[in-house]
Structure 1
Amino acid sequence: MSREKLHRILNDLLQPQFIPDGCPNGLQIEGKDEIHKIVTGVTASQALIDKAIDLKADALFVHHGYFWKGEDACLTGMKKQRIASLLKHDINLFAYHLPLDVHPELGNNVQLAKLLGIEHIENLESGKLSIALKGRFAAPLTPVALAERLKQVLGKTPLLEQVQKPLISTVAWCTGGGQKYIDLAASQGIDAFITGEVSEQTIHSAREMNIHFYAAGHHATERYGAKAVGEYLAKHHDVDVEFVDIANPA
């Protein structure tokens, strides 16, 4: 398909114009006019770019792209090398940040919920677009059992701050760096909160507001949106798509 058609499909699917963000969403680096092979992944790192080159990809689709608000705009060092590699091999870079987190079917948060068996999904925030979600497990879990489920699903042992509640029925979550939502989850009486990262104050919130907390990895929790979008493109459009997971312990 043409680059313009793919860009239109992605924008129609992810609706970035309705979601304020700290980076440009959509086509960030222009490459070939015609796209036959797409590589999807979490972050447009040099390792992912090198793999896309090896696979002769015409486009990369990622969650974490470039040109973040407040960063140095100069193309030097690591950023220069990454962009030079894309331009040299004429590879398009498509990146969608918050639009990929919040998509109701293919987004990072919904995909993680499916993998963990979370049901009755609702927005955690009311009255506006909600980055974080909340839901329930079909049967209550012990805190350790939920940690084990996270480990089995994500292939990574989560950090667990366990509190006094013996069972977890309700859960809220936000993939990636969503630890700030723990206070809102606790204020709604939710039993546990899952995200990718932890801050020093997060542990105090968990202890003092009596909510189990899990930091399961920024990368680990955000693998599934890009993968799901790739599977959607392969199913509904005539294009070859391959998901590449570049291991990251963070």
Structure 2
Amino acid sequence: MSMDKDAFIALLEKIAPPDLAEDFDEGRIGLIVEGTNRIEKIGCALDATPYVCRRAAEERFDALIVHHPAFWNPMHGVTGRNIEILRPLLENNINLYAMHSNFDHAKGGINDVLAKEIGLTDCVRMEKTPNSIGVVGIMTKSFTEISRILGCALRVWGDVSGVTRLAVAGGSAFDPELIEEAVSLGAEAYMAAELKYNIALESPIPCIEATHYALEAPGMRALAETKGWVYIADTPLTSIIQ
């Protein structure tokens, strides 16, 4: 694959149209770091971590595509972690492009891939409002099997022994309105990341918490595989102490 930068950006915007992005992503998605005008070797990752950016430089990528915006807050100095991210990209003329909530909402994006990854069938997308994300489908695998597929432990609030219809949403998506929408679509349990106590306490259905990385990495990995790009894994080190 070889194309100029503008054509490559046009391709990415077809995959994850910018107008699907939510307001909080304004100024945080699209081309974040400008590099070479000719794109041939492409890397893909969930996050532009220092490790991922070093790998991109070592592999001599022309572009690095990530899900999460690399910089959430305005910079007043390029130091610490920020320079660890930027230096390998700038020194090696690597483009950095982010597709965040627009890829969450895109068909074939983060949530559609997640549902397929864990074996949901007869899926219905949650689309009641512009901010709705997630998929509701019929389970074909147990929660133990889903845990193994995702590569992370699941923290469960409630009784899921009889659940057959599951809602899943990548990332920090434990929102009461999303849970209500999932229930309206027949969901008997809801899975996302970063569950808060009050949300779990008030939820009308059981809540299942996975890690943020485990839920969203499959979407970026699938994108890389589909396009013939290289996926760079940088799984956060987590453990459970009992």
- Aligned match for 1:153, one of 136, 149, 159: 149
Question: Is the Cα–Cα contact under 8 Å of residues 108 and 222 in structure 1 kept in the other structure?
Answer: yes
Please tell me the residue identity of whatever aligns with 1:109. N
CA gap 1:129/1:213 in 2 versus in 1, 3 angstroms? closer
| Partner Cα distance (1:192, 1:57) in 2 | 41
The corresponding residue for 2:92 is 89
In the alignment, is residue 185 of structure 1 matched against residue 185 of structure 2?
no
Counterpart amino acid of residue 11 in structure 2: I
In structure 2, distance between residues paired with 1:196 and 1:114? 18
Establish whether residue 46 from structure 1 lines up as the match of residue 85 from structure 2. no
2:170 to 165, 171, 175: 175
2:34 aligns to what? 30
**Runs of 4+ that moved beyond 4 A:** 186-189
Displacement after TM superposition at 1:127 (Å): 4.8
**Structure 1 counterpart of 2:74, which letter?**
D
> What is the percent sequence identity of the aligned residues?
25
Q: How does 1:19-168 map to 2 (within 5 A)?
A: 19-23=21-25, 24-68=28-72, 71-77=73-79, 78-105=81-108, 107-128=109-130, 130-137=132-139, 145-146=142-143, 148-163=144-159, 166-168=161-163
Aligned ranges 1:226-237 → 2 under 5 Å: 226-234=220-228
Q: 1:87 offset after TM fit, Å?
A: 0.8
Amino acid at match of 2:172: G
CA contact (8 A) 2:191 2:208 kept: yes
Between 177-186 and 25-34, the greater mean CA deviation after superposition: 177-186
| 1:177 maps to amino acid | S
The answer to whether 1:248 aligns with 2:236 is yes
* Alpha-carbon spacing, 1:112–1:67, altered in 2? closer, same or farther (3 Å): same
Q: 1:53 to 1:127 in 2, by over 3 A?
A: closer
TM-score by length of 1: 0.84
Indicate if the aligned counterparts of 2:115 and 2:135 stay in contact, CA closer than 8 A. Answer: no
Counterpart of 2:194 (choices 193, 197, 206) is: 197
Question: In structure 2, the residue corresponding to 1:198 is in which secondary structure?
Answer: coil
In the other structure, the counterpart of 1:238 is none
User: Residues 172-221 of structure 1, C-alpha deviation per residue, up to 9 Å, x if partnerless?
Assistant: 11111111133443465521101122112132124xx2x22111110111
Q: Secondary structure at the match of 1:64?
A: coil
Aligned residues: 231
Structure 1 gaps, min length 5: 235-240
What's the counterpart of residue 12 of structure 2? 10
TM score, norm. by length of structure 2? 0.86
Contact 1:21 1:97 in 2 (8 A): no
